[in-house]
């Protein structure tokens, strides 16, 4: 899918779901799904099954980043490999190649609503006040207060670069 087509598909739906700046939501969906090319059905955010999900799931190979080499998962999820690396502060971190269970959604709207519900959880409460400022919001969901949304060490700068692309493209909608 081309970037413009992806934005035409997701941005209007993100506007409808509301509550979080649709540039943030569209950009996050783009980054997490490779502009829709690596999505797991309608799961554009790479939302894993978690303990409360009772819907359909799909087992997918993916990459995760952790600060320890002691992470394990319950079958059928599993770790294939762990590769140490140094982060920007010189600290040892670990890149995992894993099989994880991901949620499946019937529609894009279902995915966007579930994504919104996740971001409304108390673990991201400190970020909520910034939900209309994509740059600040992504910083807050990735800071050391509460939970971090993603494990990638380059998440914030990547998201900010995608915000700029989406901002330019929505002018053509």
In 3D space, the residue among 93, 140, 98 whose CA is nearest the CA of residue 119 turns out to be 140
On whether the CB atoms of residues 173 and 9 are closer than 8 A, the answer is no
CA distance 108 to 115: 10
In 3D space, the residue among 104, 133, 123 whose CA is nearest the CA of residue 23 turns out to be 133
Rg (CA), the chain: 16
Sketch the domain layout of the chain as residue ranges: 3-170
CA distance 7 to 61: 26
pLDDT in tens, the chain (173 residues): 899 999 999 999 999 998 999 999 999 999 999 999 988 889 999 899 988 899 999 999 999 999 999 999 999 999 999 999 998 889 899 999 999 999 999 999 999 999 999 999 999 999 999 999 999 999 999 988 878 888 788 899 999 999 999 999 998 77
Angle 147-152-157 (CA atoms, 0-180°, nearest 5)? Answer: 100
Q: What is the pLDDT at residue 128? A: 95
On whether the CB atoms of residues 111 and 4 are closer than 8 A, the answer is no
Q: Which CATH class is domain 3-170?
A: mainly alpha
CA distance 158 to 160: 5
**Beta-bridge partners for 83:** 95
């Amino acid at each position: 899918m081309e970037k413009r087509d992806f934005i035409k598909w997701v941005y209007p739906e993100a506007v409808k779901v509301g509550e979080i700046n649709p540039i943030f939501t569209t950009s996050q969906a783009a980054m997490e799904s490779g502009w829709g090319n690596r999505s797991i059905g309608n799961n554009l955010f790479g939302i894993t099954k978690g303990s409360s999900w009772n819907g359909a799931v799909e087992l997918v190979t993916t990459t995760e980043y952790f600060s320890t080499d002691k992470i394990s998962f319950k079958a059928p999820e599993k770790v294939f490999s762990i590769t140490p690396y140094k982060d920007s502060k010189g600290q040892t971190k670990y890149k995992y190649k894993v099989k994880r269970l991901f949620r499946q959604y019937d529609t894009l709207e279902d995915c966007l609503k579930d994504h919104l519900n996740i971001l409304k959880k108390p673990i991201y409460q400190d970020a909520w006040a910034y939900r209309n400022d994509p740059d600040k919001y992504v910083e807050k969901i990735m800071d050391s207060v509460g939970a971090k949304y993603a494990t990638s060490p380059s998440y914030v700068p990547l998201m900010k670069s995608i915000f700029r692309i989406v901002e330019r493209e929505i002018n053509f909608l």
